[in-house]
Amino acid sequence: MSAVSRIRNRRSIGLARIRNWSRGRLDGYAAGWRDGYRLGACGHAVRLGAVMPAVRPLHILFVATGKGFPYSPLDEAVTVTLKGMVARLTVTRKETVVRDAAALRPDLVLVLDGLDFDIARVDAIRALGLRTAIWFTDDPYYTDITSVLAQHFDDVFTLEQSCVEYYRSIGCGRVHHLPLGVHPAVFRPLNPPPERRRDICFVGSAYWNRVDFFDSITDYLEGKNVWISGIWWERLQNYKRLARQIELNKWMDPKETAMTYNGAKIVINLHRSPYDAEFNRNGARINAVSANPRTFEISACATLQMTDIRDGLSSCYVPGVEIETYASAEELTAKIDYYLANEEHRQAIALRGLYRTMRDHTYANRLDRMLSLLFEQ
């Protein structure tokens, strides 16, 4: 190569580098502006919607699930929230709850989940003249167990609306519908790194109704920027076709889940079936009409959520305004295509969903409602 050719080659490379640098700078500026604008709008929605309940002069003895992950985030959310809402909170274990209740004589002994709680313990606490309450976190999927346990508590709280009348019908005197909520310290708007950004994601276990549904949209998902994470997804008929897009047999912790939601333009929510005989203990075949906890967690991340329809969903969010719904695989894929092509509309719904979540669906909202029902009515 001649000297002139070498000079021209270097000049050409230099110009290409300058063009690439300029293009990267412009693209980076645009992406940074979009991310900054989104986080600023989200911060405003959070501030507008946030509710600070009054502190009550109560002593609560709280029995956490003690089960470890994935229940430990629930234990933490309730513990942290209650600490800011009552004059005194004591956290105990089911093994020591009777002793602690007798020594401390709290205003309330609150049990979370309680599927492995010994009935003799709650009877012993009530024999002390102390008030008891239980908050069921998995209704109606294990009602064969909870139906026996519920009858031994003064007050029963259930996240499933259909279980309220069921518990009353078997002799429970005071039953209240109280969904789980969102812990805003964890599930909140974030700025995910580039490698966490995707068009579509789903996080959850591959129960059989979910397997059937995702089998029906394999052709659609195969060519999309999609990420699926959870256990049992090897059950898919066409697992190999989606394997590169599936994080198999992993339980993401809440912080990683929140980052995953934030990194997606659209998060799919598909409720598990209440009639799955392999995994459920629901011999009474009670239907599920209430939104699952994931509904609130996704919306708290200011990401557009597309969920299958449940009768109780409209009492939590306005479909088409604060959340999006689908009744079939065809409707889901059509709406995904629409919202991926209409960024402003997608972000507007996600932002309104964030505001509604902060206003109505945090653990502070839920526990304020619980204490009001127990001590003010």
* pLDDT tens digits along 269-293: 999 999 999 999 999 999 999 999 9
- Cross-strand partners of 59: 88
| Model confidence band, residue 25 (pLDDT cutoffs 50, 70, 90) | low
C-alpha torsion 70→121→103→87, nearest 10: 40
Same domain (yes/no): 62, 75: yes
CATH of the domain at 319: 3.40.50.2000
**pLDDT of 327 above 50:** yes
Query: Looking at the 3D structure of the chain, how many domains does it have?
Result: 2
163 phi/psi in degrees, rounded to 5: -85, -15
The residue-averaged pLDDT of 303-316 equals 97
Widest pairwise Cα distance in the chain: 100
CA 58 remoteness from chain centre = 29
* Residue 16 belongs to a domain: no
Give me 315's structure tokens: 């009492």
Residue pLDDT, tens place only, 107-146 = 999 999 999 999 999 999 999 999 999 999 999 999 999 9
Quote the pTM value.
0.90
Whether 170 contacts 150, CB under 8 Å = yes
What single-letter DSSP state applies at residue 188?
S
The whole domain housing 72 covers 56-181+363-375
**Distance of alpha carbon 289 from alpha carbon 308, whole angstroms:** 11
Same domain (yes/no): 220, 162: no
> Residue 70, preceding bond cis, omega within 30 degrees?
yes
Same domain (yes/no): 92, 222: no
The residue-averaged pLDDT of 314-320 equals 97
52 phi/psi in degrees, rounded to 5: -115, 100
Same domain (yes/no): 222, 344: yes
- pLDDT confidence of residue 14: 63
* Residue 135 belongs to a domain: yes
Same domain (yes/no): 299, 369: no
Residue 312 contacts by C-beta under 8 Å, 6 or more apart in sequence?
Answer: 161, 289, 290, 291
**pLDDT of 324 above 50:** yes
Whether 109 contacts 125, CB under 8 Å = yes
**Distance of alpha carbon 322 from alpha carbon 222, whole angstroms:** 28
